[in-house]
């Protein structure tokens, strides 16, 4: 499993929440978060 800076247990907990739960994150938001993290990491590498 690729590490996006999210603890695996936390990620699994989010995915297991029922879709209507306040704590759950839909797949679209999860993809957005992953893209934001990838972009941030890319920027960090470029700034070094």
pLDDT at 43: 87
List all residues 6 or more positions away from 19 whose beta carbon is below 8 Å from its beta carbon.
Answer: 26
| pLDDT score, position 27 | 78
The whole-angstrom distance between residue 40's C-alpha and the CA centroid of its chain comes to 12
**How many Å apart are CA 21 and CA 37, to the nearest integer?**
24
Can you give the length of the chain in residues? 48
Nearest to 19 by CA among 30, 10, 35, 32: 30
Q: Residues 8-48: pLDDT tens digits?
A: 555 555 555 555 555 566 778 788 888 988 998 888 888 87
Domain extents for the chain? 8-47
pTM, two decimals, is: 0.44
């Amino acid at each position: 499993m690729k590490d996006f800076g999210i603890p695996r247990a936390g990620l699994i907990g989010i995915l297991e929440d029922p879709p209507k739960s306040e704590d759950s994150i839909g797949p679209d938001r999860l993809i957005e978060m992953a893209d934001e993290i990838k972009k941030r990491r890319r920027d960090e590498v470029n700034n070094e």
